[in-house]
Amino acid sequence: MYLRKPYKSLFKLCLFALVTLFFFVLTNLSIQNKPNSDTYLDDTLQNKKTVTNILFWIKYWNDPSWYIGGDEEGEQMLQSIGCPAKNCFFTHNRNYLPNITDFDAILFHGAEYLHESVPHERSPHQIYVYSVLESPILCFEDLNRFQNFFNITMTYRFDSDIHWHYGSFFDKNTNELVAPSKNPNWKFPENDFYDQGISKIYSNKKRKIAWFASNCNSNSKRENLVAKIQEHIEVDIYGKCGTHSCDPKSSKCDEMLTTDYMFYLSFENALCKDYVTEKLYRPLNEVIIPIVFNGANTSRYAPPKSYIDANDFENVEALVIFLKYLMNNPEAYIKYFWWKQHYYIVDHKPTFKRGFCDLCMKVKDKNYHNENHLYGNIRDWWETGMCTTESQIKF
C-alpha cells in the first residue's frame, strides 16, 4: 500500500509509541513478580534452618567431605543406605550458614591435629563430635586441651555414643544386623558341613599364608609374630613389608586369596579394646581362613569357626601345629566356611556411611539434647588402659 510522506511519519511515530509502551508494561510486570532480595534471602535461610546442618570442621585425611560425597550428595547418601533420618545436610563449607554457631553439630577428626583450628564461638545448642576410626596409638593430638569440649563420641568402640565400625554381618534370611554386637546371637557351627564348591577351591590352593602390610614397625609387634611363623611355614608378604606386590585397588588381589592361599594374616597394628578393622572383613569375603591378632573379642565381630585367633594359642609352635593340621585335612578346613550359608558381609564403605545416619538421628533426638552430655576428660576416656603391647600368644 502506498502512503504519502506525512502519513508515513505518523505511522512510524505510532509504531514507536506502541513498542515503547509494550516494553514498559513488560518491565513493570517483571519487577512486581520478582521477590524482594531481603525476603528471598530470609526464606532461603529459613529453609536451611529447618534442616539439621552438620559441619565437617577439618578434613578426614585428604577428603573435606569425609568420603560421603559432595555437599549436595549427603541426603542422597543417607537414602542410598536406607537411613530413616530425613533432612540432614552435611557440608565442609564453614560459610554455608551466616555463623558457625548456627550449625547443629560439628565433626572433628580425632586422628588429625585439632588444636590448630577450632571454632572461636559456640552456642549452647551445638553438638561437638569426636570422630575417629584409628586406634589411640595413631592419634597424636594432646587431648588434655579438650576437656569439657566434646558432647558425642563416634568411634569403633562399643561404649561410644555412636558405634562407627569397619564392617557388618547380616542374617541372610531376615537381613537383620547380627554383628558387631556385644552379644551377637550366632548360629552354631555345623559339624557335618561340607561344600563341594569350596572343596574344589581348596584342592587348587598351592600356597600357604598371605599378608598385606605397609606398616612394618607396629605397636603390636605383629611383624615379629609373622617372622616367627615364617620359621615354620612360608608366608608371602605383599606391600612395603615384603617382596611381593599387588595393586591394592585391583580386585585380583582379593581373588588371589581365594584361588591361591590357605590362610590370611588379619593382624592389627595395635592391640586395643574393640579395635577390629577391614583386615578381618577383607578375607572373610573370600574363601580363605583369616588368622586374627588383635586386642578385641573377635566373637563380637565374626561367627564362631570362621577365623583362627592367634591369642587362643600359648605360643607360635602350637599355632603352627594347628595350621598344618588344617592344611592336611580338607574336611576340617572346609568346615570353617559353614557360616556363608547363613550370613553375608557388608564391608567398610556402606558401614562407614551408616555412622552418619546414626549421627543424624542422634543430633535430631531432643531427649539427648536435654541430657546436656559432655565429656569432661576425653583423653582419659579415649586413651587410658585401652591398648596393650602384651599378647596371649608368646613370640
| pLDDT tens per residue across span 251-304 | 999 999 999 999 999 999 999 999 999 999 999 999 999 999 999 999 999 999
Residue-wise pLDDT tens digits, 340-371: 999 999 988 888 999 999 999 999 987 776 56
H-helix segments, 213-315: 222-230, 251-260, 278-284
Residue 141 carries which side chain, given as an amino acid letter? Answer: E
Average pLDDT over residues 87-104: 94
Residue-wise pLDDT tens digits, 233-250: 999 999 999 999 998 788
Look up residue 68 and give its DSSP letter.
S
CATH architecture entry for 168-346: 3-Layer(aba) Sandwich (3.40)
Least-confidence region, from 2-16, 88-102, 201-215 = 2-16
- In order of 123, 149, 178, 197, 266, the CA distances from 186 in angstroms are 45, 39, 8, 24, 21
Q: What is the rounded CA–CA span in Å between residue 250 and residue 256?
A: 11
With residue 331 as reference, give the H or E element that holds it. Answer: helix 330-334
CB 60 within 8 A of CB 109: yes
Look up residue 28 and give its DSSP letter.
H
Kindly tell me if the per-residue pLDDT of 388 is higher than 90: yes
Residue-wise pLDDT tens digits, 30-40: 445 444 544 43
